[in-house]
């Protein structure tokens, strides 16, 4: 669920939440997403703010508008989102991780072992 965060504009948080909903399979290619008014009501935000979040996703090729019907998920939207997040969010997180590991004098082998362990835990394959 969308959790307001003071560090990012609400419209950006809403766009990221919708991306996550698509990645989680809650919206598939061709599915209609919530309208700006539904989103505004769900999260008690201004409809213009919700519209801006939807517009960002349309501008990025994740959603498309059918005049008079609403916004829909573009075919291949999951791939677009994954590529975007790899290039931005994951890269930023990795940079922060590497910088912190350097501060605590963690070796590359220790860093990779930690990542592998985290992947196991996330997939439920804990030993």
pLDDT, residue 7, reads: 84
What is the C-alpha separation between 90 and 80, in angstroms, rounded?
14
Instruction: Give tens-digit pLDDT for 11-49.
Output: 999 999 999 999 999 999 999 999 999 999 999 999 999
1 pLDDT more than 60:
no
Distance between CA atoms of residues 11 and 2, nearest Å:
11
């Amino acid at each position: 669920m969308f959790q307001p965060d003071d560090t990012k504009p609400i419209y950006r948080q809403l766009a990221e939440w919708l991306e996550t909903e698509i990645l989680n399979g809650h919206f598939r290619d061709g599915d209609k997403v919530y309208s700006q008014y539904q989103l505004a009501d769900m999260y008690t935000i201004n409809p213009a703010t919700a519209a801006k979040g939807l517009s960002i996703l349309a501008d990025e090729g994740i959603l498309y508008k059918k005049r008079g019907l609403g916004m829909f998920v573009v075919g291949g939207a999951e791939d677009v989102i994954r590529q975007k997040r790899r290039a931005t969010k994951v890269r930023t997180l990795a940079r922060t991780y590497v910088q912190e590991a350097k501060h605590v004098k963690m070796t590359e082998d220790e860093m990779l072992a930690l990542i592998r362990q985290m992947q196991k835990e996330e997939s439920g394959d804990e030993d």
